[in-house]
Amino acid sequence: SLRPQEAPKAPAAQKSAASTGKAMVLVTMGSDSDLPVLKAGLDILEEFGVDYEINITSAHRTPSYMGEVAAAAAERGLKVIIAAAGGAAHLPGMMASHTPLPVIGVPVKATHLDGQDSLLSIVQMPRGVPVATVGINNSTNAALLAIRILGSHYPEFLDKMRQYQLTMEEGVYAKAEKLRG
């Protein structure tokens, strides 16, 4: 069977000082149908120069493999896991049960319930097994949150986050100025 070490690698991210060439973030999803939703988050990780790896680990269709990947993650040097899933979205919670690493869940709008099923499945984790849940389809915030977590160890990411916030702020002022004419 596929071993975690053989997980498909993302294209080499832009190098940063914190970069060791080893993935710090695992981005995983329940199905390749979730990938379009993750695109925005992957773009953020690349913009910040975060090394990541990407995988498909279904809690339902590949439960043993999912457990292996999650259980091996910390020892392999990964620091944060982003897990996206839709419907009966067990993946983030199941990953969290197999690892001490922080897990960020992205509820994917995949079914007839507008993603509310995914949101509630992910956010309502029982006490003791936390999953940080972002908004429906909001992989951007999942990536930004992962980078903030990395920032507690790698100040470079905090500097980049401050810059990102400033750019966002200036963008709003520019739009307001244009509106005011």
Q: Residue numbers of the site for ligand RP5 (CB under 6 A)?
A: 29-31, 33-34, 58, 60, 85-87, 108, 110
Q: Which CB atom, from 30 or from 151, has the smaller least distance to ligand RP5?
A: 30
Token pair, residue 125, equals: 């984790």
Q: How far apart are CA 79 and CA 73, in angstroms?
A: 8
Q: How far apart are CA 179 and CA 83, in angstroms?
A: 39
Nearest distance in Å: CB 32, ligand RP5: 7
Q: Which CB atom, from 50 or from 85, has the smaller least distance to ligand RP5?
A: 85
Q: Which CB atom, from 136 or from 161, has the smaller least distance to ligand RP5?
A: 136
Nearest distance in Å: CB 60, ligand RP5: 6
Q: Which CB atom, from 124 or from 152, has the smaller least distance to ligand RP5?
A: 124
Nearest distance in Å: CB 2, ligand RP5: 17
Nearest distance in Å: CB 117, ligand RP5: 10
Q: Which CB atom, from 58 or from 99, has the smaller least distance to ligand RP5?
A: 58
Query: Distance from first CA to last CA of the chain, Å, rounded?
Result: 62
Q: How far apart are CA 137 and CA 35, in angstroms?
A: 11
Q: Which of 103, 114, 92, 106 is nearest to 138 (CA)?
A: 106
Burial of 97 per CB tally in 10 Å (0-12, 13-18, 19+): middle
What single letter denotes the amino acid at residue 126?
P
Nearest distance in Å: CB 119, ligand RP5: 12
Q: How far apart are CA 147 and CA 120, in angstroms?
A: 24
